[in-house]
Amino acid sequence: MRLVLLGAPGSGKGTQAQIMQARHGLPQVSTGDLLREAVTAGTELGRAAQVVMQAGGLVADDIMLGIIRERLARADARRGFILDGFPRTQAQADGLSTLLQDLGTPLDAVVLMEVDPEVLLRRLAGRRSCRRCGRVFHIETNPPAPGDRCADGRAHDLFQRPDDNEATVRQRLSIYRERTQPLIDHYERMGLLRRIDANGTLDEVDARLEAAITPR
C-alpha cells in the first residue's frame, strides 16, 4: 500500500498517518520529520537543507526529493508507505512521480482529506507538538494518553507553533488552496484521487479513510 495524504493544515493528515502506521505497519513519511532527521544526522542532503533553513528559505524540491528517495529505499518501506503532506506543488508531484517510477513503487491512491475551514481554525488553535519526538497532539481531541512518552522514555515537551494563530492560519489556508488545487486535478486525471470527509471524530475519519483505501 503506497499512499499520499493530501489536506489543508489541520486536516488531520499526521494524526491519521500515525494511526495507519500502527495498524498496517507502514512508515509515515513526513517531510518535516525527514528534514530534522537529515540535519541531525549530518548527511550531505541534510547539510544542504540546513544552510537553506538557517537563511529562512524554503528547501529546494531536488533536496526534498533526494531525502525522500533515501527514506523510501529503507527496508521498512518495501511493503509500502504513507506520504504525509507531500507533494504540495505540481513540480513536487512531477518529481515524485519520476522518483517512484525509478524505484518501481507507483502510488496506489491519493486521499484528499476535506474539512470545513472554520473547523480547521479550531483544530489548529488547539494543536500542540512535542519538541523531543515531533509527534502532534490536540489539547481537546487527541491529548497524550496517560503515561504516553517519547521513544527515549521522557515526558512529551508540548508547545504551540507560533504560526497557529487565526490570521496566519487563514493565510496558510489561502496558499494551500492556491497551490493544491492543481494537484487535486492532476491526481484525479490519473484516477488515483479519493476524497473523504475529514470532519468528525478521530474514529469516524479513520473509518472513512480505511474504507477509501480498501480495494474495490
Residues carrying an active site annotation: 13, 88, 127, 161, 172
Residues 44-48: contacts with CB under 8 Å, at least 24 apart: 45/70
DSSP 139: T
- Measured CA to CA, the distance from residue 32 to residue 19 in angstroms comes to 18
User: Cell 476535506, residue?
Assistant: 114
First to last CA, the chain: 14
- Measured CA to CA, the distance from residue 47 to residue 63 in angstroms comes to 10
